Amino acid sequence: MTETFTDWLRQRSEPDWTAVVTHPFTQGLFDGLVPVESMRSYLVQDYQFVDDFLALLGSAVAKADRYSSRLAIAGSIAVVTSEENTYFQRAFDALGVGEADRVRPVLDEATVAFRDVMNDANANGSYAEVLTVLTVAEWTYLEWAMRAPASPPENFVHAEWITLHNNPGFQGWVRWLCGELDRIGADLDERERARCLRVFQQATRCELDFFNAHWK
């Protein structure tokens, strides 16, 4: 079987990739045992990515090379602004998160670093580089969430965060992202492939640092 571009990127991002998708934080989610304070800080910080992530999706729409790609990306924007945003608000209510921490919390170093990667790709990256950041962000979450046992944890804060990232719709979106990056990657020259690899590795490391920041 021919190695795809995304497989090539992932394999050259070890051991960080495996460390992300098998992180102890995710096992804590499956077991419903992430401490309240850790879950609160994790979701507060994660919510700070939403605006930058939407901007990155918008950048992907603008930089895409065909109409069908723009449609696929636009569909994901609707999910982020509806189901996912609703989950955050319900979870914040359940965890007692005040308005200030929802809107303008003190940012962790790991949060700042990942936002910088997103914003740089948005402002300066090619379509391939934008897709690379999106693919890491979504593919890593699908990979860890697909490891969840059939029986979900009782607390909806844990359970729904898992199901947001392993449902059939999300699986289809990640498959599309990987396929789109494979399609674009097939025409990249060596220099462009190297840039995508650097971005893929940076984003993967940011994901690992983010989990580490909320699991002691």
Q: Which segments in the chain show pLDDT lower than 50? A: none
| Positions marked catalytic | 207
Task: Quote the CA–CA distance of 92 and 89 in Å, as a whole number.
Answer: 5
Burial grade of 135 (CB within 10 A; 0-12, 13-18, 19 or more): buried
Which tokens is 13 given? 């991002």
Q: How far is CA 111 from the centre of its chain?
A: 12
Instruction: Give the model's pLDDT for residue 71.
Output: 96
Contact present, 40 and 205 (Cβ < 8 Å): no
Residue that is written with structure tokens 């990256």 in the block? 125
Which tokens is 34 given? 């992430």
How many CB atoms are closer than 10 A to CB 122? 21
Contact present, 2 and 191 (Cβ < 8 Å): no
**Which residues contact residue 115 at a Cβ distance below 8 angstroms, ignoring those fewer than 6 apart?**
48, 49, 52, 107
Task: Quote the CA–CA distance of 153 and 148 in Å, as a whole number.
Answer: 10
Instruction: Give the model's pLDDT for residue 82.
Output: 86
**Which residues contact residue 162 at a Cβ distance below 8 angstroms, ignoring those fewer than 6 apart?**
29, 30, 145, 148, 152, 153
Buried b (16+ CB within 10 A) or exposed e, 164-186: bbbeeebeebbebbbebbbbbbe
Instruction: Give the model's pLDDT for residue 1.
Output: 65
What are the backbone angles phi and psi of residue 57, rounded to the nearest 5°?
-60, -40
**Is 46 annotated in some ligand binding site?**
yes
Task: Quote the CA–CA distance of 196 and 190 in Å, as a whole number.
Answer: 10
Task: Quote the CA–CA distance of 7 and 73 in Å, as a whole number.
Answer: 21
What are the backbone angles phi and psi of residue 120, rounded to the nearest 5°?
-65, -45
* List of domains in the chain: 5-213 (1.20.910.10)
